[in-house]
Amino acid sequence: MKKRFLALVLAVLMTAALCACGGGKSPAAQPTDTPNGSAGEKALGGEITVGIAADLDTSLDPHVSSSSAGTREVLFNIYEGLLKPDTDGNLIPAIAEDYTVNETADTYTYKLRDGVRFHNGKTVTVGDVVYSLTRAAGLETGEPLVAELKGIASVEAPDDKTVVVKLKAPDAEFNAYMYASIIPEGSDPAAEAVGTGPFRFVSRTPQDNVVLEKFADYWGEGAILDKVTLKVIPDGQTMVMSLRSGAIDMAERLSSSQIADLNELTILEGSSNIIQALYLNNDFEPFRDIRVRQALCYAIDKHAVIDLAADGHGIPVGSSMISSMGKYVVPELVDYYKPDVEKAKALLKEAGYEKLSFSITVPSSMPAHVDAAQVIVEQLRAAGIDASINLVEWATWYDETYKGRKFEATVVGMDTHSLAASGCLARFQSENSKNFINFSNADYDETYLKALATVDEAEQTALFKQCETILTEQAANVYIQDAASFVAMQKDVGGYQFYPALYIMDLSTMYRVK
Amino acid sequence: MQYVVKKTGVLIATLLLVSLFAFLAFEIIPGDPTTMLLGSDYTPERAEALRESMGLNRNVFARYLSWLAAFLRGDMGTSYSYAMPVHEVLRGKLGVTAVLSVMSWVLVTALSLPLGVALVRYQNKPFGKIGVSVNQILMAVPPFFLGILLTYLFGLLLKAFTPGKFIPFEESVPRCLGYLFFPALAISIPKAAKTVKLLRNAILSEMKRDYVLTAYSHGNSRWMVIKHHVFRNALLPVVTYLAMSLADIVASSIIVEQVFVVPGLGRLLVASISNRDYPVALCIVVMIASVVVVMNYLADILTQTIDPRVRLS
Amino acid sequence: MINTKDRNFRIGAGSTLVMLLIILIGLIWTPYDPNAMNASEKMAAPGLRHPLGTDNFGRDIFSRVVQGAGATFLIALCSVAIGLLVGLLVGGLTGYYGGWIDEILMRLNDSITAFPSLLLALVLIAVFHTGKYNIILALGIIFIPTFARIVRMEVARQKSLDYVANAKLMGVKSMRILFVHIMPNILPVLLSTVAIGFNNAVLAEASMSYLGLGVQPPDPSLGRMLNEAQAYLSRAPWYALSVGLAIILLVLGFGLLSEGLGGEDRA
C-alpha cells in the first residue's frame, strides 16, 4: 500500500515540477512579422552555432549533381558561380561582372570581375573558370557532373578577362545554371574545399559539426559573422531542446510541431521551397498500374495533411513546381483529384489490388515529413490501404531510396537546383539520373525536350505547364504541399533571409545583435 | 596463480569468439556494400572491381583473420559513410564514453555504499522504510526516461547546464565533467538502486551469522557490529557486482548519450547501424564487448583475491 | 513482520495484474481509436473528454498509452516465449546428455552473454533491420542463452535425483524422461527467470523504440511514444510522464514478481 502511495506522490511531484514551466500556456508560438528577425543593432563579427538536421554528404564536391539539398545549402556559402541568385529571384553577377547572350541564345559571353580571390589567396583567372565549367559539364569525360550543363559544347577563354560558352542547342534559360561553382584550376574539391564564397571551410567532424569562418578577402560585402559552426542534430526533439537551452542559435526548416514550444525565440515563417509529396516508385509492381496511383491520389486529402501535420502552414500543390515559380505554376492541378474514398476503393478493385499494402520510407531526421507520413497512413487506412512507415537515417534514405531506388513509396521534399523550370521537371524524364521514382512516360519526355528547345518564352512556358499536367494526370506522385519553413533564432541573432524557389541558407547576412 | 592463468586463457578465447561473432553478424547482413557505395553508378563490372579491391571475394574466415590482424595493429578499416579511416571517425569519441562510464561508475559506488548501509542502520525508522520502497521504484526507472526528466528539470528549468551544448574535454575539463555529470546521474541512479538493494540484503543476511552473535555477546552495539564486522564481509558480493556493472554502464550510456547529445561512441554506434556503416559499427561493438569481457575477467580475479574460498568452486 | 518475498510477490502480482487487465481491455476497447486523428482537438489538456488529453494529431493519449503498453507487453511476451522455448530445448538436451556438444554450446553461450544485451540487440537489429517483428526476433534470440543456461543447470541437477534413475530402470525413453518427468520439476525456477525476462524485454523494447530502431510509427509502443512525447514535455508533461510511469509500473511489477518467486536480482 505504502509503495503505491509513494509512487503516486512521486508522480504528482514530477508533474507539478514540469507544469511549473509553461504548461498550458499559449497553444503555439506566433511567427513574428519582421522579415529578417530581430530588429536589433548589428554587431560586427561574433559567431553563431546553427543546427542542421542531417550531416553533410561524404563528398563536398560542389559539382556532384546528386548532392543532397542540405549539403548544397551549406556549400552555397563556400562556393560561387559566375552568377548567383538573390533574394528577389533574380540572377546577379558574382564572379562574372557582366555577361552577354547572342541573338540565337547559343553563345554566352562572361566578363570576369577584377580581384575575386579564392580562399587560398589566389586570384580567380579565366583558366580556373574554364577548368571548373569543363569539369562540371564533363567535356573531357563525356559524363556531365552537373546534369544541367550537358548542353555545353565548348568553353573557351579568348582573353584573360573573358569566357565564352557555346551551347549545342539554343537555350534561353541557360544562365539559370551558371550557379555552377568555380574552383581553382586543377584542384580536386573532394579533397579540399576552396571556393570564393563569403565563408571558407575550416573543419568537419563526422556526425558532429562543420566549421566555417569568414573569408576576409571576399570581393563583395562579405560576411558579418566571424565564424559559424553547423552542428549536426539528427533528432527533431533534440533540435528543439538545443534551441530552448541555447545550445544552438538558429535552426531552419522546422516543422510547426517543433516550434510549438519555442515561445522565447524569434520565429520566422517562409517557404522551404520543396515539393512535399508521397513519392511513388513507379516501378513497384502495384504502382505500375496508373489506377492504383490515382486511387492513392483520391484517398489522400492534402488539405487535411497540411492541417494536421503542419497546422495549416503550407501551400497545397498538384504537381512538381515550386509555388513561387510564378508563371510556371498551374493552379488548376492542386485539386485535380478531389478526396474521394469510394472512388479510390473502386479504382483499386478495378486494378485488382483490393488488399494493397506498401511501406513508406521516411528520413527520421525530418519531423515535417514523418508527421505528414503519419497522417497519410491514417488516411489510407480509411480507404482500406495498409501502408506502414519505415523510418531511416538520412544517409540511408539518400543511398538506398534516392540513389539506389530501392523503395515502394517515400514522403520527402524535392527542391530545385536552379531558377529555371527544368530544375523541378528534369528529374522525371525516363532516363534522367535523378528520376528516382522511375517515372517513364514517352509523352512527358517528348514534351519536356520540346520545351527545352523552344526559344519563345510563352510557348516554352506552355510546354512546361503541359509537363506538369502530365505528371498530375499520370498520378506520378501524390502531391501534398510546398512546405512552410519555420526558422527559429535566439533573440540576439538576426539577418536570416528567405530566398524564393531555391533551397538556400545564406549565412553571410546573419549577425549578432549588440 | 594457476587460477589466473586458466582465467586468462578463457579470456583470450572469449575475446576471439566475441570478435568472430560480431564479424560474422556484420558479414551476413543482407545487402552488398558495393551496391551502396556505387548507388546509381552501379554496373556489374564496377561492382566486381570494387568487390575485388575490398577483398570481398575471399572466404569469410580468411577475411576475419585479416580483419583481426589489421584491427590488432590499429587499422580498423574505412568508414563507408565518411570515406575516412574508422579510427579517425572514432577519435575523441572513445574518450568521451570512457569518461562518462567511469564517472557513472564512481557515482554508483559513491551513492550506493553509504545509502545501503544507512538503509540497514535505520531499518526500523521511517527513513529506512520509505527508503527501501523508493529504492525499489528507482530500480525500475529506465535510464533514458530519467535522462529526459533530468534534462528538463536541470537543463531547461533550473539552467544548471545547457542541454545539447557538450563541452569537449580539450576545451575545459571541469566544464566537460560538469556537463557529463547529468547523463552520469541518469545512468547511475537505477544502477545504484540495484547495488543498494544488494548491499542491504547482503548485510542483513550476514547479520544472521554466528560471528555476529559473538560480537553482540561482547557488548557491541548493532551499529558497531555492522561497522566493524559485517560491512567488510557483506562487501564481497557488492564489489563483484560493481566490477561487473561497468559493462552494463557502458551499454546504458549508448542510449543516454542520445538523450543528452553527448558525442560519444553510443551516438556513433546508433548512427552507424542506421546508416549501415558496418566497419564503424563492427569496431564499436567489438570494443565495447571487449571492455565487458575484460571487466568480467578482472571482477573474477578480484573476487578470487579478496576471497580465496572462490578458488574451490 | 511479513516475509519480504511474500510481500514483494503480492505487490508485484497485484500491479502486474492491474496493468494486464488494462492492457487486455485495451485490446478490445479503448475510449478512442488510438490512431484516429482529429484536427479540431489538437493538444487538448486532460479533461472529461480525454483523460490524458490529446497529442499533436488530436489522438487520444490515454488510448495510445493503453495500446502502447499492450504492444510493448506483446513484444515482451513473444520474445520471452522464443527465448524460453529454444532455451528449454537447447538447455534440456545439453543438460541431459552432456558431452562435447554441451561443452561447445556452453562456451558459445558464454561468449554471447559477454555482449551487454542492449548491444546485442543493436547488432541483431543491424542484421534484421528495424520493425516490430524484427525486434521480437532480436530480443528472443538474446534471451535464449539465459534460459538455456538455467535449464541446463537444473536438468543436470535433476538428472542425478532418484526419480530419474527409477524411471530409467523402468525403461522409460530418454525423451520422455526429459520432457515429461524432469521439465515439470524445473518450472518453479523457470518462472522467476521468465519474470526477469519480461522485465528486461520491456526495458529493451522501450530503449530500442526510443532510439527509433524498434517499433515504427504510427504503431504505438511505450518507447516510441516516449520519443514522441519528449517534444511536448512543457506543454503536455502528462504525456511523457504517463508513458514513463507505464514503463516503470511494468518493470517494477515484473521485478517484484521475480523476486517474490525467489529469483536473483540479475538474469
Q: Where are the alpha helices (DSSP H) in A284-357?
A: 290-299, 302-310, 341-351
Q: A7 or A411: which carries more pLDDT confidence?
A: A411
Average pLDDT over every residue of A395-420: 89
3-state secondary structure of C130: coil
Which chain B residues are within 8 Å of C244, Cβ to Cβ?
141-142, 145, 148-149
Q: What confidence tier does B55 reach under pLDDT thresholds 50, 70, 90? A: low
Instruction: Tell me the DSSP string of C182-239.
Output: IHHHHHHHHHHHHHHHHHHHHHHHHHHHHTTSSSPTTS--HHHHHHHHGGGTTT-HHH
Min Cα–Cα distance to chain C from B280, Å: 12
- Say what the pLDDT of residue A416 is: 87
Q: What confidence tier does C3 reach under pLDDT thresholds 50, 70, 90? A: low
ipTM of the complex: 0.84
Nearest Cα to Cα of residue A483 among A300, A273, A332 = A273
What is the average pLDDT score of chain C?
84
Which chain A residues are within 8 Å of C131, Cβ to Cβ?
390
- The residues in B 186-215 lying below 8 A from C, measured between CB atoms, are 194, 197-198
What is the Cα–Cα distance from A83 to A501, expressed in whole angstroms?
A: 16
Q: B167 or A96: which carries more pLDDT confidence?
A: A96
Report the percentage of chain B scoring pLDDT > 90: 21
3-state secondary structure of A98: strand
Measured in degrees and rounded to the nearest 5, phi and psi for residue A316 equal -60, 140
CB pairs under 8 A between B and C: 114
Q: What confidence tier does A365 reach under pLDDT thresholds 50, 70, 90? A: confident
Contact at CB, C130 and A11, closer than 8 angstroms: no
Query: What CATH code is carried by the domain that includes residue A131?
Result: 3.90.76.10
Q: B271 or A339: which carries more pLDDT confidence?
A: A339
Which chain A residues are within 8 Å of C245, Cβ to Cβ?
7, 11
Contact at CB, C217 and A389, closer than 8 angstroms: yes
What is the average pLDDT score of chain B?
83
Average pLDDT over every residue of A392-415: 89
Instruction: Tell me the DSSP string of C59-80.
Output: -BHHHHHHHHHHHHHHHHHHHH
* Closest residue of chain B to A60, computed from CA coordinates: B82
Please report the sign of the dihedral spanned by the C-alpha atoms of residue A380, residue A381, residue A386, residue A387.
positive
Contact at CB, C248 and B137, closer than 8 angstroms: yes
A184 within a domain of the structure (yes/no):
no
CB pairs under 8 A between A and B: 96
Burial class (CB within 10 angstroms; exposed 0-12, middle 13-18, buried 19+) of B61: exposed
A193 within a domain of the structure (yes/no):
no
Instruction: Tell me the DSSP string of A355-376.
Output: T-EEEEEEETT-HHHHHHHHHH
A14 within a domain of the structure (yes/no):
no
Q: Are C231 and A258 contacting, i.e. CB atoms less than 8 angstroms apart?
A: yes
CB within 8 A of A37, min separation 6: which ones? Answer: A266, A268, A487, A489, A493, A494, A495, A496
Write the residue in B136, B142, B250 that is nearest to C207 by C-beta. B142
Least confident of A160-164, A272-276, C164-168: C164-168
Whether residues A296 and A263 share a domain: the answer is no
- Say what the pLDDT of residue B297 is: 84
pLDDT at residue B305 above 90? no
Whether residues A91 and A107 share a domain: the answer is yes
Range with the largest mean pLDDT of A168-172, A470-474, B126-130, C36-40: A470-474
Chains interfacing with C (3 or more CB pairs < 8 Å): A, B
Contact at CB, C211 and B255, closer than 8 angstroms: yes
Interface of chain A toward chain C, CB-CB under 8 angstroms: 3-4, 7, 11, 14-15, 18-19, 21-25, 27, 236-237, 240-241, 257-258, 260-261, 304, 307-309, 311, 364, 367, 370-371, 373-375, 377-378, 381, 388-391
What is the Cα–Cα distance from A216 to A221, expressed in whole angstroms?
A: 10
Q: Are C204 and C220 contacting, i.e. CB atoms less than 8 angstroms apart?
A: no
Q: What would the pLDDT profile of A33-66 be if each residue is shown by its tens digit?
A: 444 544 567 888 999 999 999 888 878 899 986 6
Task: Determine contact: B29 vs chain A, CB below 8 A.
Answer: no
Whether residues A143 and A163 share a domain: the answer is yes
3-state secondary structure of A278: strand
Min Cα–Cα distance to chain C from B54, Å: 20
Whether residues A494 and A454 share a domain: the answer is no
**Cα dist. B164→A251, A264, B180, B257 in Å?**
13, 17, 11, 10
Whether residues A257 and A285 share a domain: the answer is no
**Structurally, how many domains does chain A consist of?**
3
What is the Cα–Cα distance from B223 to A7, expressed in whole angstroms?
A: 31
CB neighbours of residue A35 within 10 Å = 12
A23 within a domain of the structure (yes/no):
no
Whether residues A171 and A316 share a domain: the answer is no
Which chain C residues are within 8 Å of A378, Cβ to Cβ?
35-37, 57, 218
Which chain C residues are within 8 Å of B248, Cβ to Cβ?
116
- Say what the pLDDT of residue B54 is: 66
pLDDT at residue A22 above 50? no
Identity of residue A475 = A
Contact at CB, A391 and C233, closer than 8 angstroms: no
Measured in degrees and rounded to the nearest 5, phi and psi for residue C47 equal -170, -165
Write the residue in A258, A371, A388 that is nearest to C216 by C-beta. A388
Min Cα–Cα distance to chain B from A402, Å: 9
Domain housing A120:
80-177
Whether residues A285 and A393 share a domain: the answer is yes
Q: Which fold does the domain C4-26+60-262 belong to in CATH?
A: MetI-like fold (1.10.3720)
For Cα atoms C66, C71, C75, give the angle at the middle one, nearest 5 degrees. Answer: 145
Q: What confidence tier does B31 reach under pLDDT thresholds 50, 70, 90? A: low
Q: What confidence tier does B57 reach under pLDDT thresholds 50, 70, 90? A: low
Whether residues A453 and A393 share a domain: the answer is yes
Contact at CB, B258 and A235, closer than 8 angstroms: yes
For Cα atoms B297, C91, C100, give the angle at the middle one, nearest 5 degrees. Answer: 70
pLDDT at residue C216 above 90? no
What is the Cα–Cα distance from A485 to A499, expressed in whole angstroms?
A: 11
Measured in degrees and rounded to the nearest 5, phi and psi for residue C133 equal -70, -35
Class of the CATH domain delimited by B96-263: mainly alpha
- Say what the pLDDT of residue C80 is: 95
Report the phi/psi class of residue A38: left, alpha or beta, with left for phi > 0 and alpha for psi in -120 to 50.
beta
Write the residue in A233, A248, A403 that is nearest to B40 by C-beta. A403
What is the Cα–Cα distance from A234 to B164, expressed in whole angstroms?
A: 12
Q: What confidence tier does B307 reach under pLDDT thresholds 50, 70, 90? A: low
User: What is the reported pTM?
Assistant: 0.83
Task: Determine contact: C153 vs chain B, CB below 8 A.
Answer: no
* Closest residue of chain C to B269, computed from CA coordinates: C122
Which chain C residues are within 8 Å of A261, Cβ to Cβ?
231-235
Report the percentage of chain A scoring pLDDT > 70: 92
Task: Determine contact: C216 vs chain A, CB below 8 A.
Answer: yes
pLDDT at residue A233 above 80? yes
Measured in degrees and rounded to the nearest 5, phi and psi for residue A48 equal -135, 160
What is the Cα–Cα distance from B184 to B150, expressed in whole angstroms?
A: 11
Which chain B residues are within 8 Å of C206, Cβ to Cβ?
142, 144-145
pLDDT at residue C28 above 80? yes
Query: Where exactly are the structural domains of chain C?
Result: 4-26+60-262
Average pLDDT over every residue of A142-162: 89
A68 within a domain of the structure (yes/no):
no
Range with the largest mean pLDDT of A171-180, B120-129, B134-143: B134-143
Q: C107 or A436: which carries more pLDDT confidence?
A: A436
Q: Are B252 and B236 contacting, i.e. CB atoms less than 8 angstroms apart?
A: no
- Say what the pLDDT of residue A133 is: 94
Task: Determine contact: B98 vs chain C, CB below 8 A.
Answer: no
Q: What confidence tier does A164 reach under pLDDT thresholds 50, 70, 90? A: very high
Q: A77 or C8: which carries more pLDDT confidence?
A: A77
A12 within a domain of the structure (yes/no):
no
Which chain C residues are within 8 Å of A408, Cβ to Cβ?
none
Task: Determine contact: C2 vs chain A, CB below 8 A.
Answer: no
Q: What would the pLDDT profile of A317-349 be if each residue is shown by its tens digit?
A: 999 999 888 889 999 999 999 999 999 999 999
Whether residues A350 and A461 share a domain: the answer is yes
Write the residue in C35, C238, C248 that is nearest to A378 by C-beta. C35
Q: What confidence tier does A21 reach under pLDDT thresholds 50, 70, 90? A: very low
Q: What would the pLDDT profile of B185-207 be if each residue is shown by its tens digit?
A: 999 999 999 999 999 988 888 88
Q: What confidence tier does A26 reach under pLDDT thresholds 50, 70, 90? A: very low
pLDDT at residue B237 above 70? yes
Whether residues A165 and A218 share a domain: the answer is no
- Say what the pLDDT of residue B109 is: 94
